[in-house]
Amino acid sequence: MELAWKGRPAHVREMGQGPAVVLVHGYPLDGAMWSGVARNLSEHFRVLKPDLPGRGGTAAPPSVRLEDCADFLDTILAALPEPVGLAGFSMGGYAVLSVAARAPRNLRALALLDTRADGEDAAGRARRDEAIAAVRSGGAAAIAEEMIRRLLAPDSLRNRELVERVRRLILRQNAETLEADLEAMRERPDQTATLPRIAVPTLVMVGEEDAISTPAEARRMAEAIPGSTFVTIPAAAHLTPMERPGAVADALADFFAGVLAPRA
Ligand code: MLT
């Protein structure tokens, strides 16, 4: 899909046919983090994996607020026929919750992966400031190794090919975009009041070993969303879509197949 965003072109990679499913990436990554999941899902769905502003196919300047990312996602949704499923991983989940709060007309289902609804506390804000200082002086390389250790479970860290793929994804992000992501996450709105108002079927998924958005936090989020489904992914930490693409794709496919049937 081709779009214009803030006066610059945006190319959204897509594959497959059927009801549309939009997959939104996290920090410090881009849409390619979904490749394994997207290949699998595209057997049944039209899968779109946008790059949020400031990276990959989206040439526009990076967003310093999650609401700007939500505006970008709204523009993609507005170009898609009903029904649309929207899945957000971690920072992508923060943006997806902002979209959900606006209840766009064609949004029919949500998936929230390894993410959370609350805003940043004082300790979290201080950690964002440290990371901002690190990327300002050393670019993506300054945060890459620590992020890899936080994103992946011990088993995944032993998979050299996976670690190398994650490292390549991180190292190709530019410092200005990472800094904007960190500012956006530091200032993100608290969406806990949005959860009980979500009126579309929602799947909450989390890696059993996720230490960034823990299973306990994910379960609380699921309990606050009326009628939601809660799934844990074994042998995975935070980066479930890259650590366990088959299990994540199966869970998303089962969920979206049940709720995205075109209206008769
Ligand atoms: C992400 O995976 O998008 C980030 O680690 C989320 C965060 O740091 O809050």
What's the pLDDT tens digit per position in 184-238?
A: 999 999 999 999 999 999 999 999 999 999 999 999 999 999 999 999 999 999 9
Decide: 212 in ligand 1 pocket, CB within 6 A.
yes
Statement: residue 262 has pLDDT above 70: no
The mean pLDDT value for 132-156 works out to: 98
How many Å apart are CA 158 and CA 246, to the nearest integer?
Answer: 18
DSSP state of 42: T
Task: Using a cut of 0.85, tell me whether the model's pTM lies above it.
Answer: yes
Cα(31) to ligand 1 centroid in Å equals 14
Q: How confident is the model at residue 263 (pLDDT cuts 50, 70, 90)?
A: low
Q: Considering only CA atoms, which of 235, 221, 211, 197 is closest in space to residue 112? A: 221
How many Å apart are CA 145 and CA 32, to the nearest integer?
Answer: 19
Backbone angles phi, psi at 20, to 5 degrees: -80, 135
In this predicted model, what pLDDT tens digit does every residue of 42-92 receive, in sequence order? Answer: 999 999 999 999 999 999 999 989 999 999 999 999 999 999 999 999 999
Give ∠ CA 175-22-221 in degrees, rounded to 5.
Answer: 85
Protein residue with least CA distance to atom 4, ligand 1: 27
Classify residue 16 as left (phi > 0), alpha (psi -120 to 50) or beta.
left
How many Å apart are CA 182 and CA 137, to the nearest integer?
Answer: 14
Q: Which two tokens stand for residue 14?
A: 């897509």
Decide: 169 in ligand 1 pocket, CB within 6 A.
no
Cα(94) to ligand 1 centroid in Å equals 9
Q: Which two tokens stand for residue 48?
A: 């779109």
Q: What percent of the chain has pLDDT over 70?
A: 99
Question: What is the CATH number that goes with domain 2-118+190-259?
Answer: 3.40.50.1820
| Ligand 1 atom with the shortest distance to the CA of 115 | 6
* Substitution site in 23, 55, 90, 183 for ligand 1 pocket (most atoms within 8 Å of beta carbon): 90
Protein residue with least CA distance to atom 7, ligand 1: 91
Cα(36) to ligand 1 centroid in Å equals 20
Cα(18) to ligand 1 centroid in Å equals 30
Q: Strand 13-15 and strand 46-49: pairing? A: antiparallel
Decide: 91 in ligand 1 pocket, CB within 6 A.
yes
